[in-house]
Amino acid sequence: MSKFLTAHALAEALGHHRAGRLSEAELIYRQILALDGRHADSLHLLGMIEFQRGNHEAAARWIGQAIAIKEDQAAYHSNLAIVLRAQNQLDAAAACCRRALALKPGLVETQTNLGNILLAQGNAAGAAACHERALALKPDLAEGFSNLGNARQCEGRFAEAAACYQRALAIQPDYAEGHNNLGNVLTVLGRFDEAMVHYGRAIAIQPGYAVAHYHRAQIKIFHPGDSELAALESLSLDGNLPASDALYVHFALAKALEDAGEYTRAFGHFEQGNRLKREQIHYDECAALALFERIRSVFGRGLLHRLGETGDPSPIPVFVLGMPRSGTTLIEQILASHPEIQAAGELGHLEKMAGAWTAGDPAAPYPECLSTVDGHELHELGQAYLAGLPALEPGRVLIVDKSLTNFLYIGLIRLILPNAKIIHCVRHPIDTCVSCYSKLFAAGLTFTYDLGELGRYYRAYTEIMSHWRAVLPPGAVLDVSYEDVIGDLEGQARRLIGYCGLAWDGRCIEFHRTERPVKTASSVQVRRPLFRSSLERWRKYESGLNPLLAELRGADSAPTPCG
């Protein structure tokens, strides 16, 4: 086939491709390749057809062949990045974006893709820089301001994030995602009435916007006959709704039905939402439970006695930890209401530290790597943790780290920061688990979407907390009961502040008036005075909890689901 005929055939194929006639386009691309097996554009475009069909591995192979022939085509690298990102191969996707931008710096979509990849990797500052470069190239890009707002949120710069979303909406007032994102940051800031307005606008623009329905449901109180409840009912019956959207609708409808007192129907939708979510995530239960056992094995009395006072002596950190939905956000809010205590949120520093050890030497992962450390190394680790904390605000002397999984790292805390305060939040086991099951978490906590898995995880958690009590000195950890706080707020608040070594301040019992960003699933509850309706909530759903109750009844035996 001559170059002229090839160009004509390629143009015809592209016409089909752009019109969505993928089979017709594929046929012509393959005809071109039958005559010229090194026709890079046809290889690349066949890859894009496979991507559109959801065949990501095949798409990556085709585009990879095109790049092997014509390595200098920015579009090839840019599209391969999109395919790799869809496969969650984020490092490789980021490398492809950077190669495309090196070849052609003005690719706005590639800058945007790289920014979103970096944000998914936890590099919010790098993501923000990418989105700023995209906006420099295209200042009227509403999506660019929205993406920049997402990065600013992850950096904890919530007022700036709100301003970014407002800029996006000034450019494009009917931008549903922008309204939803602005609603999210307003929720974090406790401005619920304004958030409701923007969620409502997002839904008015895009009635099937499942995520916006879900977020609105979390801050709204529904009543029988509510028109918005009826809208959720209708949306839940839409058979064409993708599973990734349907799970948000089921969680939203379950919350709405619970508000309205329809508990049996509510639990049915919790079940459907959890089932859909569980199908979409990876949770290695064997590895998760094995980690509990490995930690107990390593952190014996001998290790803790030998190295227990060698870390950094700073008293600044206060660790608030426990199972999700056990009252940790409430305790953090009470503490943050004291003028000398600063709340830093869920930092995750210790989990990252453990992950870095494991990645650095897979042959000696965390916690086994601690068997060879000495006091000098532990002192340096304590200093490294302190260096990663936000700067103390004027008048503040303590910083709260509320990372939930830190109950796994209590032994590490004692080694690297022996004077740190550790507050363990406890709640009724079934109420804790049911509250977990009723929430769609933003990230992580993959053990919460199946009642059996949730029960086994809770048992492993109780066992490791018993281990810490056995190997640590009395008083090393302060247990605080959620139910006790509900029953005697001032008494428990005084106990907390006394444990932290500070003078009492009455503002601690007015915690719901404290203005600060709250990013957790409890952001609404801690803005309101204490209420007792959350006590024994599980009884409303008792008939559906058999898989959970069976596991919790077996609390005197080790959780071993792997055979």
- For residues 206-211, give the mean pLDDT: 94
Instruction: Give me the pLDDT at residue 147, please.
Output: 95
Instruction: Give me the pLDDT at residue 304, please.
Output: 85
CB neighbours of residue 54 within 10 Å: 9
- Determine contact, residues 93/62, Cβ cutoff 8 Å: no
Token pair in block for residue 144: 């660019």
Between the alpha carbon of residue 15 and those of residues 11, 29, 79, 283, the distances in Å are 6, 12, 19, 43
Q: What is the pLDDT of residues 142-189, one digit of tens each?
A: 999 999 999 998 888 999 999 999 999 999 999 999 999 999 999 988
> Phi and psi for 450 in degrees, rounded to 5?
-140, 130
- For residues 113-123, give the mean pLDDT: 93
* Minimum mean pLDDT range among 22-36, 94-108, 547-561: 547-561
527, pLDDT greater than 50: no
232, pLDDT greater than 80: yes
**Residue that is written with structure tokens 């329809």 in the block:** 262
List, in order of start, the domains of the chain with CATH numbers.
174-280 (1.25.40.10), 285-553 (3.40.50.300)
Own/partner pairs, 232-237, CB within 8 angstroms, 24+ separation: 232/256, 235/207, 235/208, 235/210, 236/269
DSSP states along 387-436:
HTSPPPPTT--EEEE--GGGGGGHHHHHHH-TT-EEEEEE--HHHHHHHH
- Determine contact, residues 324/448, Cβ cutoff 8 Å: yes
317, pLDDT greater than 90: yes
Categorize the per-residue pLDDT at 514 as very low, low, confident or very high, splitting at 50, 70 and 90.
low
CB neighbours of residue 16 within 10 Å: 17
Between the alpha carbon of residue 288 and those of residues 50, 153, 274, 285, the distances in Å are 35, 29, 19, 5
- Classify the C-alpha dihedral 390-396-399-402 as positive or negative: negative
> Pick from 423, 419, 422, 421: which is nearest to 314 by CA?
419
490, pLDDT greater than 60: yes
214, pLDDT greater than 90: yes
* Angstrom distance (rounded) from CA 232 to CA 492: 40
Percent over 90 (pLDDT), the chain = 67
* Minimum mean pLDDT range among 107-121, 327-341, 505-519: 505-519
* Angstrom distance (rounded) from CA 114 to CA 90: 9
- Determine contact, residues 498/302, Cβ cutoff 8 Å: no
Instruction: Give me the pLDDT at residue 1, please.
Output: 52
Q: What is the pLDDT of residues 469-482, one digit of tens each?
A: 999 999 899 999 99
- Determine contact, residues 70/35, Cβ cutoff 8 Å: no
Between the alpha carbon of residue 275 and those of residues 16, 20, 415, 431, the distances in Å are 39, 33, 40, 20
Instruction: Give me the pLDDT at residue 558, please.
Output: 56
Instruction: Give me the pLDDT at residue 301, please.
Output: 86
* Angstrom distance (rounded) from CA 497 to CA 477: 14
290 against 525, higher pLDDT: 290
- For residues 435-439, give the mean pLDDT: 94
> Phi and psi for 148 in degrees, rounded to 5?
-65, -40
CA 295 to chain centre: 24
495, pLDDT greater than 50: yes
Categorize the per-residue pLDDT at 362 as very low, low, confident or very high, splitting at 50, 70 and 90.
confident
511, pLDDT greater than 90: no
DSSP states along 127-187:
HHHHHHHHHHH-TT-HHHHHHHHHHHHHTT-HHHHHHHHHHHHHH-TT-HHHHHHHHHHHH
Q: What is the pLDDT of residues 49-79, one digit of tens each?
A: 999 998 999 999 999 999 999 999 999 999 9
> Pick from 383, 430, 425: which is nearest to 545 by CA?
430
- For residues 197-213, give the mean pLDDT: 95
Percent over 70 (pLDDT), the chain = 93
Instruction: Give me the pLDDT at residue 346, please.
Output: 85
In single-letter form, the type of residue at position 353 comes to M
* Minimum mean pLDDT range among 150-164, 428-442, 519-533, 536-550: 519-533
Token pair in block for residue 422: 């550790």
Torsion angle, alpha carbons of 262, 268, 269, 275, to 10:
160
Helix, strand or coil, per DSSP, at residue 560:
coil
Average pLDDT, the chain: 90
Burial label for 441, CB within 10 Å (0-12, 13-18, 19+), is middle
387, pLDDT greater than 50: yes
- For residues 508-526, give the mean pLDDT: 60
Instruction: Give me the pLDDT at residue 241, please.
Output: 87
Categorize the per-residue pLDDT at 309 as very low, low, confident or very high, splitting at 50, 70 and 90.
confident
Going by the DSSP 8-state scheme, the letter that residue 371 receives in this structure is G
Helix, strand or coil, per DSSP, at residue 204:
helix
**Residue that is written with structure tokens 């707020």 in the block:** 489
In single-letter form, the type of residue at position 251 comes to F
Categorize the per-residue pLDDT at 277 as very low, low, confident or very high, splitting at 50, 70 and 90.
very high
- For residues 481-496, give the mean pLDDT: 93
CB neighbours of residue 531 within 10 Å: 9
